[in-house]
């Protein structure tokens, strides 16, 4: 029984959450405070271009890991933060994607887009470049 369960979860055991940009993007590095600011709706620029955060909501576990480890907020607190920003300045929260394929197309086609995804979803996509590992098992 234990062997059967461990055989069923090796993919999760090797999961890595990656910060990704378009292969055509000139972004080489984003540090943790910059990523946090970006996904909290604040303005972050690179070479004069305003970066565009894209939220990956294809997998609830991944979003939870991203919010806890990178943004340091629960999903509820993040939602409230977004509403607050909207009420105070009419700022839009990051565009959310429920479908990984659609998200990859959006990242690949926009040199200012920044997002995150599981390693298994991006490793064979030559249009996407990995900036760093955000979290791993």
Residue 42 in contact with other proteins, rule: CB under 8 A:
yes
Among 37, 68, 131, 135, binds other proteins (CB under 8 A): 37
Task: Pick the piece of the chain touching other proteins (CB under 8 A) from 17-25, 30-38, 56-64, 121-129.
Answer: 30-38
> Whole-angstrom Cα distance, residue 137 to residue 129?
21
Give Dmax over CA atoms of the chain in angstroms: 56
Secondary structure element (H or E) that encloses residue 81, with its range: helix 75-89
Look at the block and give the residue holding tokens 């990984």. 100
Residue 93 in contact with other proteins, rule: CB under 8 A:
yes
Residue 134 in contact with other proteins, rule: CB under 8 A:
no
Binding residues for other proteins, total number by CB under 8 A = 29
């Amino acid at each position: 029984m234990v062997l059967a369960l461990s055989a069923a979860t090796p993919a999760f055991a090797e999961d890595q959450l990656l910060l990704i940009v378009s292969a055509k993007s000139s972004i080489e590095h984003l540090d943790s405070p910059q990523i946090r600011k970006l996904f909290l709706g604040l303005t972050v620029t690179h070479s004069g271009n305003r970066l565009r955060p894209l939220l990956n909501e294809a997998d609830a576990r991944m979003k939870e890991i991203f919010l806890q480890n990178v943004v340091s907020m629960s999903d509820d607190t993040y939602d409230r933060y977004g509403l607050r920003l909207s009420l105070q300045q009419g700022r839009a929260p990051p565009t959310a994607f429920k479908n990984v394929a659609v998200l990859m197309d959006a990242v690949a086609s926009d040199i200012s887009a920044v997002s995150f995804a599981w390693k298994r979803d991006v490793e064979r996509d030559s249009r996407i470049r990995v900036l760093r590992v955000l979290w791993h098992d």
